[in-house]
Structure 1
Amino acid sequence: MEIAKKSLDKILEYVCISLFGALVILVTWQVVTRFILNNPSSITEELAKYCFVWLVLFGAAYVFGENGHMRIEFVQDAMPKKMKILAQVFIELSIIAFAGAVMLVGGFAGVQMAWTQMSAALQIPVGVLYTAMPISACFIVFYSLYNIFTVIKTREPLEID
């Protein structure tokens, strides 16, 4: 499971870096075409929107993998060790429930509804944009299962970044 996590971490790192680089290039070109050439490119605007959505969702999944998401720590810090472990498992189960119900199930429903709708500039299904949600949900569920596995295996609370 450790190898799968490290591999997924690397994949998400490279995907996020690539998406961010593409986003910078697309937005720069959009600014050039809009203000210098006085002929804005609608294709780069739509591609930038797609890159941004995918970057945010995959970046969020990566943050879950690094255990760097927001949490209220002062309550958990006041607990004894066994309660901290139980609290972390409960938190991870809550994350799995949310990611599974809202992001995975709801994301698939959104993809299905939007698959027949075509984007204005690119003429590709809008469902392509929405596929980022169920994919990132799968990554978040994997990371949460990994965290539960790690806490139970080591019998130690996870270090919080």
Structure 2
Amino acid sequence: METTKKVLDKILSSICVVLFGALVLLVTWQVFTRFVLNNPSAFSEELAKYCFVWLVLFGAAFVFGENGHMRIEFIQDALPVKIKMVVQIFIEISIIFFSALVLLSGGLTITKLAWEQLSAALQIPVGYLYAVMSVSGIFIIFYCIYNIYTILKNKKPLEVV
């Protein structure tokens, strides 16, 4: 499980770097064509939107793997270690249910609905935009299961990054 997490971390961080770089280039190109050439690029705005959505959802999954999301810790810090572990496991299970219901199931539903619709500029199925929801949901569920496994294996709460 440790090896899988490390490989997934490496893949997600690489994808996020590539998407961010592409987003910067696309937005720069859009600004250049709009204000310098007075002829805005048709594809770059739409492709930048796709990159941004994918970057946000893959980035969110990556941050789950790093256990780096914002949280209010002063309540958990006041709890005894055993209760803190139970609270963390409950939170991870809640996130699993949310990810399974909203990201995975909802993502599959909206992807199927949008697959027949073509994007205006790129002429590709809009389903590609929504497909990342399900993929990100799977990654988040994996990371939550990994976090629960780590809590139970180490018999101590997760450390905050």
1:61 Cα deviation after fit: 0.3
Moved more, 38-47 or 65-74: 65-74
Distance 2:103 2:75 in 1: 27
The one-letter amino acid of 1:124's match is I
1:119 Cα deviation after fit: 0.2
Distance 2:21 2:8 in 1: 20
State the partner residue of 2:17: 17
The one-letter amino acid of 1:128's match is Y
State the partner residue of 1:44: 44
For the pair 1:89 / 2:73, whether they are aligned, the reply is: no
1:71 Cα deviation after fit: 1.8
Deviations 1:37-65 (A, max 9, x none): 10001101100000000000000000000
State the partner residue of 2:133: 133
The one-letter amino acid of 2:152's match is I
TM-align CA RMSD:
0.5
Moved more, 12-21 or 62-71: 62-71
For structure 1, the 5+ residue unaligned runs are: none
Distance 1:146 1:80 in 2: 22
Off by >6 Å, runs of 4+ in structure 1: none
Distance 2:157 2:22 in 1: 38
Distance 1:86 1:115 in 2: 41
Q: TM-score, normalised by structure 1?
A: 0.99
1:70 Cα deviation after fit: 2.0
State the partner residue of 2:147: 147
Distance 2:2 2:24 in 1: 33
Number of residue pairs matched?
Answer: 161
Distance 2:102 2:73 in 1: 25
Distance 1:29 1:63 in 2: 29
State the partner residue of 2:68: 68
State the partner residue of 1:34: 34
Distance 1:110 1:65 in 2: 25
State the partner residue of 1:160: 160
The one-letter amino acid of 1:106's match is G
The one-letter amino acid of 2:143's match is Y
State the partner residue of 1:55: 55
For structure 2, the 5+ residue unaligned runs are: none
1:72 Cα deviation after fit: 1.7
